[in-house]
Chains A and B, each alone.
Chain A
Amino acid sequence: MTETRPRPIVAGKIGATVLCCYLVAVALRIGGCYRADAGGRDEAPEAGPRVGDMFPSFTLPDLSGARITLGDLMGRPAVLLFVPSLDWSAPTKARVLDLADAVAGRRDLTLAVVLTTGAATPRSLRFVREHAIPAYVLVDGAGLTEQLGIAVPGPENAPVALPATFVLDAGGRVVLRDVRRDPRVWLDPDVILAATGLSPHS
């Protein structure tokens, strides 16, 4: 009578164990995958206004269609965040959420996120609405990104912006610039707030 039958369960256990160990290792190490960085970088020194220069004037539409000018951002410190995409770039989403969290509720600072027309996809706009990003979200169809020299070819060769941060004083003068080529490491929001001269906590 053969009512019992050994089963090859060890292979399954070993496979599951390898997968579990891999997941634990990823959970421990994934923090370094993309992150904020306290050190400023300038990986495109030829591009954009220098520290101390006036930021070039612009007129760009926001999501509601209202036309926002540089003058609308002046009168208090402003942070202009150029982003490659809020659609396919996961680290860029994390970067924007990081900064949005740091400036949430502040009335002494203006935040503007600039996307090129090609990057302003429905998914990008949905991200902005769902997370209620406290910022002007400007769609650059006027060539500001190219004018600053921070445009690179994106998917389907549509120009997208390099990950760049410009901090302006109340008069529109650049007090900090940070231009990167790799979106996985971005400038720490505390460094940005320190550059504005405002206290970290409103």
Chain B
Amino acid sequence: MPSPARAYVGYRLLAATAAAGCFLVGFVCILAFFDRALFQLFARPLFATDYWGYYIVGFAGSALVAWGGCLVAAVRNPVGASGVGTASAAGLLLASILRLLAWYSGEYRLVADQLRVEAGVLAVVALAFVWLKPPRLDDDRGVERSREDTP
């Protein structure tokens, strides 16, 4: 039986990578909002949108940072926070569907291939979350793992 540190190493790596991505994109979004709303230090705005767009960008950045925090919890305790994997997979699937619908609308023609690639990558990452995530706590194996992870 693997030691607790080695348990679900693939899932931990996946969650850590996703957390890093969430923090990175989240902080860029928050930075863009603050730059636009307060400082205007950048010569060119980071996003081509209006003040309401930046408001939403700032909100999305905050949500991404929160999501990253949840993923860090999943890295520290994969079994105890296994629901984070389920929620992440659901969120990634939704994001993938959203991008395909955006492609299909025709409104995003000039970034159409980027949307397709993003949709495919997000679906693959969601698949990884689905299969790498630990069983839930009330599953037999999950309880065993949780007991192993408890100091």
Contact = CB atoms under 8 A, between A and B. Distances in A.
A33 interface: yes
A7 B139 contact: yes
B104 A90 contact: yes
Given A4-B139, A16-B130, A30 B100 contact: yes
B120 A24 contact: yes
Interface string A142-154: 0000000000000
A92 to B, nearest CB: 7
Given A16-B93, A30-B116, A127 B107 contact: yes
Interface in A1-29: 3-7, 9, 13, 16-17, 19-21, 23-24, 26-28
A48 interface: no
A97 B106 CA distance: 8
Interface stretch (B7-15, B65-73, B121-129): B121-129
B112 A94 contact: yes
A89 B104 CA distance: 10
Contact of B106 (A9, A28, A31, A94): A94
Interface of A: 3-7, 9, 13, 16-17, 19-21, 23-24, 26-28, 30-31, 33-34, 89-94, 97-98, 101, 127, 131
Nearest to A97: B109
Contacts of A7: 135-136, 138-139
Nearest to A14: B130
A74 B80 CA distance: 72
Contacts of B104: 30, 33, 90
Given A4-B140, A30-B100, A94-B109, A24 B124 contact: yes
A96 B70 CA distance: 43
Contacts of A31: 112-113, 116
Contacts of B113: 31
26 contacts: A4-B140, A4-B143, A7-B135, A7-B139, A9-B135, A9-B136, A16-B126, A17-B130, A20-B126, A20-B130, A23-B93, A23-B97, A23-B123, A24-B120, A24-B123, A27-B116, A28-B116, A28-B120, A30-B116, A33-B104, A91-B106, A93-B105, A93-B107, A94-B106, A97-B110, A101-B109
B89 interface: yes
A90 B127 contact: no
Contact of A98 (B105, B109, B135, B140): B109
A94 B106 CA distance: 5
A17 B120 CA distance: 13
A42 B110 CA distance: 27
A20 B106 contact: no
B16 to A, nearest CB: 21
Contacts of B120: 23-24, 27-28
Nearest to B136: A7
Contacts of A33: 104
B123 to A, nearest CB: 4
B119 interface: yes
Nearest to A31: B116
Contacts of A24: 120, 123-124
Contact of A4 (B97, B123, B138): B138
B5 to A, nearest CB: 24
Contacts of B105: 90, 93
